[in-house]
Amino acid sequence: MPSPSFVFVMTDTQATNVLGCYGHPEMQTPHIDRLAAEGVTFNHAYTTDPLCTPARAALFTGFFPHANGAWVNGLPLGQTFTHMGQRFRDHGYRTAYTGKWHLDGHDYFGTGLCPDGWDDRYWYDGRRHLETLTPQERSLWRNGLTTPQALREHDVKAEWTWAHRVSDRAIDFLAAASREPDRPFVLAVSYDEPHGPFTCPPEYAERFVDYRYPLGPAAFDGLEGKPQHQRDWSAARARERTGYAVNPMYFGCNSFVDAEIGRVIDAVDRLAPEETYIVFTSDHGEQLGAHGIYAKGASVYESNINIPLIVRLPGRAAAGTRLDTLASHIDVLPTMLDLAGLPVPPALEGESLGPLLRGGPEDPQRPVFVEFHRYELPADSWGGFTPMRAIVKGPHKLAINLLDTDELYDRSSDPDELQNRIDDPAYAAVRDRLHEELIDWQYRSYDPFRGPAWERRPWRSERTLTWQGGWKGPRRSWDDGYAPTRLNYRTGLPNDPPPG
C-alpha cells in the first residue's frame, strides 16, 4: 500500500461556535460542513493556547508552547524543535506550506523567507502577499475596508485577497503533486481569515448586515467571583450588552474562508491520489462578547478554546462519525505520523488519535491541557503577564490563574460557564483531583514555569502535590527522533525516563 498524503488546512480565529457542522447552520459554511459529513468530527477539541503563535507552535511541533520556545506572539520556535515539514520531508515526503506562518518571531506578516522543510515555490506568508500590493493597496487592506459598504465601494474581488491567493498556491501544488503520484506529500494551507481585517468580497459581508448572533446567558455574565484580569479585559473593550453579536465583517469573512477551503477540497478530490487525508482545524476562537469580552486571551470559555478538528479519511471511511473523546492541538502531529505509518517519537507530548479514527473505543476520561502566558512580547498591548494552566476533563474545567482567582466550571449543569465553582464545597473533591492531575502534567511536561506557587492555592488545604516528593521534578529524557539522547549531568549516562 502506498504511503498516504496529507492536506492540513487551518484557519485563524474560528471556534466551533461559528461553523454549521457544529450546530450553527446560519453561519453559511457549507464546505467545512461537507468535510464533516465526509469525515470524522471531534466534538470537543481544544487549543493548547488561545493565541496565534503558541497554538501554531504546538500544532506543528507536537510540543506545548511552554516547551518549544514560542510561548507568546513575537517569539520564534526554539532551534532544537523540528516541525511537521521537516519531519515528513526527512521521510521522503514532498512538503509545502502556503499562508500565514507566524512562527518566525518577526512581525504579524513574517519575513518572506521560506523556512527549512517547506518548498519555497509555494511559500506565501503575509510578507510575500504584501509585496504584491502597492502602498495604497496595503493601506486599503489593513485599514480601509472596515464595512460592507467599503468592500462594495472598492469592488473587492476574491482574487485580490490573501485567502484566495493562498488557495491558488495550494491548488498549484496539488496539480504538481498529481504528476508524481508515487511520491506522498504534506500540504499545509494556513488561512489568516476570518481574523481581522476581515477582507472578503462584499456579498459575503452583506449577507450578515442584519444578522444578530445570539450569545445566550453568557452575554450578561457580570464576571462576579471570576478573575480580575477578565473584568479588566471586559472594561477595556466595553460595549453595550444587547445579548447579541453584530459583526457582518467577521461573519462574512468566516463564510468567505469556507468558500476558499471549498476550492482546496475540490482540488484534492480532482487531483490528489486516493490515499489522501484532509485534516482541518483552527488556532483558537473569538469570544464575540460572550462573558463581556472580545477576541482571544487568558480564558477557558468554550468560545475561546473549543476549536474544530475534522479528519477526512481516504475513501471517506467512517464518514459522518462524531467523537466525544477530548482532543487537542498537541495530538495532531502524532496522529499524522501514525496514520502515515511513521514512528511517533516518545518525546512528542500528544497522543495519536489514529486508534479512534480507526474505530477504536472512546475514552471519556481523557484530559486535555491548555495554557497561557501573555499576549505579545514586542507590543505587549493586552494585559501583560497572565500565566494560566488549565485542565479539561469530561464536563469539568479547572484553570489555575497563577496571579489571580482560579476557576472551576461544570458544563453539565452550567453550559454557559457562568458559575465559578472554585470555592464550592460540593465540588471540592473533583476540583482537587483535577488540580493533582494538572500539577502532575506540569512536571511530566517539564513546564519551565512550574513550581510550588501552582500548588499553594487559597482553596487547597494541604500541599501534597509535589512530584516524587520534591518540586524540582525529574530530569528530562529526550527522544524526538533527531537529537542525541540526553545525558545525566552527574553520571554522564542517559537519563532514566520520568516515572509514570
User: Does residue 9 contact residue 269 with C-beta atoms inside 8 Å?
Assistant: no
Neighbours of 269 (CB within 10 A): 12
CA 310 from chain centre, in angstroms, equals: 13
Contact indicator for 283, 304 with CB cutoff of 8 Å: no
- DSSP letter at 73? B
Which residue in 31, 66, 83, 102 is the catalytic one? 102
Q: Is 327 in contact with 44 (CB distance < 8 Å)?
A: yes
**Do 141 and 157 contact (CB within 8 A), yes or no?**
no
Q: Cell numbers 462594495 label which residue?
A: 152
Bridge partners (DSSP) of residue 312 are 278
Q: Which amino acid is at 315?
A: G
**Could you tell me the three cell numbers for 361?**
473505543
What's phi and psi for 12, nearest 5 deg?
-125, 125
User: 392 - beta bridge partners?
Assistant: 368, 397
- Please confirm, yes or no, whether 52 is among the known catalytic residues: yes
Question: 401 to each of 70, 101, 227, 240, 417, how far by Cα in Å?
Answer: 20, 29, 8, 28, 16
The Cα–Cα gap between 328 and 59 comes to 9
Three cell numbers, residue 471: 518540586
**Rounded to a whole number, what is the distance in angstroms from the first to the last CA of the chain?**
36
Give Cβ neighbours of residue 419 (< 8 Å, ≥ 6 apart).
409, 410
Of 52, 114, 200, 253, catalytic: 52
21 catalytic per annotation = no
- Furthest C-alpha separation in the chain: 71
Burial state string for 140-166 with b = 16 or more CB within 10 A and e = fewer than 16: bbeebbeebeebeeeebebebbbbbbb
Which residues are tagged catalytic? 52, 102
